[in-house]
Homo-oligomer: A and B are copies of this chain.
């Protein structure tokens, strides 16, 4: 672990060798880029995690089919925004299959090596003709410099594109990991997540690739929430192309996961910062829990509490709402031992209220990065952190008027 170094670098999914990307506008959205294409040369080994929502959208059905047939390899990923192609029945499934077939034809690869993904309005059939035209244009525009357009093309209500890349120095050589993500609403991953696409030029052993993605996602993509909703289209894919000539085996696994976690965390926190109507990033750490599961459950309950989120939005150090959520979270909790701190300022401990410290806590809440810490008071040693954003009137406006 000590011999490697993870270094931030500019760029996104094309930072690793062997990946090209493009983002184009094909009219699915009324304006802006709405179709992204990523190509891997040679075809990459793929790990994926998918929504746990039982109302699975058509593109996820197709992508999983293709991964089975291709034995977890892919030459391309094609993604559209503006239409989730979810709840669209057999017709929707046909469009997702056509989207893959068009891409395979344009790139000259087997159809099962094309993975498809969609995000946007549910219950709207994806327009196959628009997709076909978009794929043709995107295929001609592929390049190493296409990462930014691709990251922009997968946005829905996101205020800005999310992409990042790292260079990893190891004794065996240098490799890269890049990524892009979208997500602003309907965000509460549950062993799955929003849309995220990750690339690397390391060669990773098949069993390790999926394990690394799950492990890195557990405390990044799966530790964020915007509104407690799990989407029908959530998907994160990690493509490992191998062009860097660095092989990741058990010995190098820790290095790889560490770098992958850096990329995932940056994208995950960017999703929360860009949450619908968000003005603040809130990190909620629960300590003293009886188990990590209980710590996560309590932290997530607080992160989804409209009363906690509106208090932070209003700059009110209302620690009582955190206690109230802890008490109803269904986890071991003891009021007599509970402690609450806001920005490191302890406001409640040993059943004593430190009201005189509230101005210091309120000062912390005026910043854009907020830290809340709650000890459950039952003397456990487990802890967990979940990230969320504040709840503003703007969230209501966005979601009351989403389709109009």
Contacts and interface: CB of A to CB of B under 8 A. Distances in A.
A232 B327 contact: yes
A69 interface: no
Interface string A318-333: 1111011111100001
Nearest to A306: B227
A219 to B, nearest CB: 21
Interface string A83-99: 01011111000000000
B87 A328 contact: no
A229 B401 contact: no
Interface in A367-404: 391-393, 395-404
B87 A333 contact: no
A353 B271 CA distance: 31
Contact of A122 (B54, B185, B320): B320
A20 B54 CA distance: 54
Contacts of A400: 310-311, 313-316, 392
A122 to B, nearest CB: 3
Interface in A27-78: 52-56
A326 to B, nearest CB: 7
Interface residues of A, number: 67
Q: What is the count of identical protomers in the complex?
A: 2
A78 to B, nearest CB: 22
A307 interface: yes
Contacts of A229: 305-307, 324-325, 328
Interface in A350-368: 350-353
8 contacts: A55-B338, A87-B348, A89-B350, A89-B351, A186-B307, A229-B324, A391-B396, A396-B396
Contacts of A227: 306-307
A307 B399 contact: yes
Given A88-B353, A89-B352, A318-B402, A185 B307 contact: yes
A113 B90 CA distance: 67
Contacts of A121: 320
A323 B87 contact: yes
